[in-house]
Amino acid sequence: MIRLITDSQRYEAKVGEGLRSHYLFSFADYYDPENMEFGPLRVFNDDYISPRSGFPSHPHSELEIITIVLAGELTHKDNIGNETKVTPGLVQRMTSGTGITHSETNETDEEVHLLQLWFLPNKRGLAPSYEVMDVDFIKAKNELVPLVTGQKVLEDVVYINSNSTVYYGSVTQGEEITFRTFKLRRTLIYVLTGSVLVNNVEADGHDQIRLDEQEVIGIRGTADATFILVDVPAVEANY
């Protein structure tokens, strides 16, 4: 099954001054019982944070939180001693585990654009932990760059406690990338810029395609495009 969800079908959050956000799944004041999660992927938000604004200190537990900054500089601070400036090319993972408190703010004079993905972990009761890695994905061209994985088949990638992998993809007009997976897994593609043809389904900027029971996924650029591809199990084991 292949399902296209267009830009206009995304939920536009009304958060207040300093933050613009779109939610791909039910989150905060947006609730749709038919759009709660995608395998262990529970949250996928596309956020813009204005200068001198952001998310003040708040708690999390039992989540794997991935932050991908596409533009600007995000300051992360937490109660286990981490303070990091996250910029494009860096990928951040926070295991909230039994409990962590953190803040995410824009302390600069330029807007920050980021993606944040929350996964349900494959193990509960983990100690809180944090990792940030320079993956240098921004320069990708006609390839899929793995950003985070818990499948233990990739090296030099941020580790996540989920049997999932997140890729950054880039494809130029007329070129094609082939992604191979298994029928027992699910794939989500979120187009950042440009447009692509995914198994003969056209998707433009901010559209998403959700695929089930597809072993081979062809992604052709109908214009120069960038996108996020998330490969997940249908059900996360051990949760």
Is residue 113 annotated as involved in ligand binding?
no
Across 144-156, b (16+ Cβ under 10 Å) vs e yields: bbbbbbbeeeeee
Contact status, residue 46 vs residue 191, Cβ threshold 8 Å: no
Instruction: State yes or no: 34 annotated in a binding site.
Output: no
- Total Cβ atoms within 10 A of residue 101: 14
- Residues 153 and 163: beta-carbon distance below 8 Å: no
Q: Is 76 annotated as a binding residue?
A: no
Tell me if 217 sits within 8 A of 199, measured CB to CB.
Answer: yes
3-class secondary structure, 8: helix
Give the rounded distance of the alpha carbon of 28 from its chain centre.
17
The answer to whether 116 and 43 are in contact (CB under 8 A) is yes
Binding residue per annotation — 206? Answer: no
The backbone torsions φ and ψ at residue 7, rounded to the nearest 5 degrees and listed phi first, read -50, -45
Per the annotation, where are the binding residues?
58, 60, 102, 104
Per the annotation, where are the binding residues for Fe cation?
58, 60, 102, 104
